[in-house]
Structure 1
Amino acid sequence: MVSPALAAPGLRLDARELLALREEALRTERALPASRRPGAVPAGAPGAGMDLREIRAFAEGDDARRIDPSATARTGMPHIRSFHEDRDDTLLLIVDFRRPMLWGTGASLRSVRAARLAARRGWQAVARGASLAAIGVSAEGVAAIPLAGGVPQMVRVCHMLASCHDRALAGGGVVPSLEEAFIRAMRLCPPGGEVLVATGPDGLAPEDEPALARLARRRLVRVLLPLDRIETAPPAFALPLRAGGRARLAQLRPFDHGALAQRLRVLNVGLEVVADDAG
């Protein structure tokens, strides 16, 4: 149960505020893309279609049935044929509610802003007829809603995110990794789909990277990074910091997301920074 002290807007996530984002999302959503079947848009994702995309070196996890004999014989190394496919218009939302996300100096906790960002993208996906799934990660574990479409599905997602956030506020101090969420995501989101991961600057641990790289191999994966104002425009003066029984003055620096962007780029993952309190 969430303490009454945490029931204020911006601290507790209310499903009603996520549901209310529907109209805002509809105003910003572009027209439905042309497609050859409901829920599909032409895309350049590698898949099992008929149009050749590239011939490249074989990598772990590739389908051995696609090995190209000529390129393999010519180079002396296994090469495969990669084809274009129609990308399913599928969106998977992964929202991080672990303890480091339960923080903020603005009007809302980072965790609440992350959920709002994800909900906006979810409503936009519903508006264009996409299928949707969602994962919430907290100290209580991983909660998931399998793939489905339509407004009722997004309503379920909103309630799941709010419930998961409540459990995070009431939970203990265990900080699980995102690896389990990424492994679950590979089952929830088909190849060619899109995955949005809303987390913080320190949300991705080194041990999460192999699973994230596998997830991004045949999916469009982006990290949504809602930054706090103190991370983008810290005070120009030193602040007192206390850790245990020790105290000191320290000058804060703006968060530089360049290193994180490069780290994600190696994994074939994009980064979208939200550097204000609009979330």
Structure 2
Amino acid sequence: MTAALRATGVALEAASLIALRQVALRSRAEPVLAALPGGFATRRKGHGHEVADVREYVSGDDIRHLDKGTTARTGALHVRQFHEERDRVTLLVADFRSSMLWGISRAFRSVAAAEALALIGWQGVSEGGRVGLLALTPDGQVAVSPRGRVRGVLDVIGGLVRAHEQALQSVMAGTVADRSLDMAMSGLERLAPLGSEVIIASGFDDMGQGMEQRLAELARRRVPRLIRITDAAAGKLPKGRYPIRLSDGRRLRVSLSGHAQTQHETETICGRAALLIDAGSGVEQTARLLAANLPADRAP
């Protein structure tokens, strides 16, 4: 890989995505207001195994939860309370097609997509869920089956880094043959269990004619959520004509008026609400935005 592809904001580094764990956990502690409606119901899996508190016994409590140490120390019956577990499965879909491999300010849109999905992954496993990955590259896919705990997120991070490097190498080799987004997501249903949450992070360029139908079919048995990765700096470029090269190799010039566009927080894609994340924003801001729109207790 050339030096340019190892630059900050261009390369995707596992250490940076692992470090996002603390950012994700801190964002959960902050008071937030959700901007997107809707949610996701999950199947409860008993009382969990992690002790949340110890309190005095009251009539009706399960005697199996007695805390022997506290009972012996105080002389009064005490029981343990546990954190409740939820069987939430989240499949993270990362769009690393060539249209995502650019950025003007802080990072490539592909890197911002990976950061957002890693934050969601850390949040998911901290709440007792499982996470998996489907990364879309210019010439294929990288899939990681859903798994819980820290090991699950580390597997996802490994898949993200591997897929992103493959995508950069494909572009540099000139072997890019991007498929439309709807076609690139083929096989997604085999990886996402029924009732799971499917979070797609993409610029939603070249979605394909069947994207709306694919999302509708996905929504029948699963819960699709859309995150559109933008680059607000692109709307702030000075007035002028800029040369660009398309994914098929064609070159052309684009004229910009120089008038900055207002960046909103949400928009509608294929009739569905999509959260907008600016690739130029810092990870702390992204984490707060995700915490507001994907709260732990989200429900219909």
Same fold (TM over 0.5): yes
Q: 1:198 to 1:39 in 2, by over 3 A?
A: farther
Q: Distance in 1 between matches of 2:207 and 2:213?
A: 11
Greater shift, 144-153 or 198-207, is seen at: 198-207
- The size of the alignment, in residue pairs, is 225
Q: Which residue of 2 aligns with 1:239?
A: 240
**For 1:28 and 1:192, how far apart are their aligned partners in 2?**
26
Aligned position for 2:182: 179
**Residue in structure 2 matched with residue 144 of structure 1 by the alignment:** 143
Shift of 1:107: 1.5
SS in 2 for 1:173: coil
CA distance 1:188–1:255, shift in 2 (3 Å): farther
Provide the secondary structure at the position in 2 that maps to 1:104.
Answer: coil
| C-alpha distance in structure 1 between counterparts of 2:109 and 2:252, whole Å | 27
Q: Structure 1 residues 154, 217: CA separation in 2 closer, same or farther (over 3 Å shift)?
A: same
Out of 257, 270, 292, which is 1:264 matched to?
270
> Which of residues 201, 204, 209 in structure 2 aligns to 1:206?
209
Question: Aligned pair in 2 of structure 1 residues 148, 210: CA closer, same or farther (>3 Å)?
Answer: same
Deviation at 1:203, TM superposition (A): 4.9
| Paired amino acid for 2:231 | D
Higher relative contact order (CA 8 A, sep 6+): 2
Tell me the TM-score normalised to structure 2 length. Answer: 0.66
Per-residue deviation, 1:148: 1.4
Tell me how large the CA RMSD over aligned residues is.
3.1
> SS of the counterpart of 2:187?
helix
Q: Give the 5 Å matches for 1:115-134.
A: 115-134=114-133
In structure 2, C-alpha distance between the alignment counterparts of 1:196 and 1:34, rounded to whole Å: 16
Aligned partners of 2:90, 2:208: CA distance in 1, in Å? 23
**1:39/1:130 contact within 8 Å kept:** no
Query: Counterpart of 2:221?
Result: 218
Q: Which stretches in structure 2 are left out of the alignment for 5+ residues?
A: 31-40, 49-85, 245-249, 284-300
Greater C-alpha Rg: 2
Which position in structure 1 is the counterpart of 2:45?
37
Task: Give the letter for the 1:28 counterpart.
Answer: S
CA distance in 1, matches of 2:125, 2:29: 12
1:151-166 equivalences in 2 (<5 Å):
151-166=150-165
Give the aligned partner of residue 250 of structure 1.
256
Stretch of structure 1 that moved more, 158-167 or 248-257: 248-257
Aligned counterpart, 2:92: 93
Residues of 2 paired with 1:257 and 1:250: CA distance?
17
1: CA distance between counterparts of 2:154 and 2:210? 33
Report the Cα distance in structure 1 between the residues aligned to 2:111 and 2:22, rounded to whole angstroms.
19
Q: Report the TM-score, using the length of structure 1 for normalisation.
A: 0.71
**1:5-44 pair list within 5 angstroms:** 5-29=4-28, 36-37=44-45
Structure 1 unaligned regions, length at least 5: 41-86
Q: 2:44·2:87 contact (CA, 8 Å) conserved in 1?
A: no
Q: Which residue of 1 aligns with 2:231?
A: 228
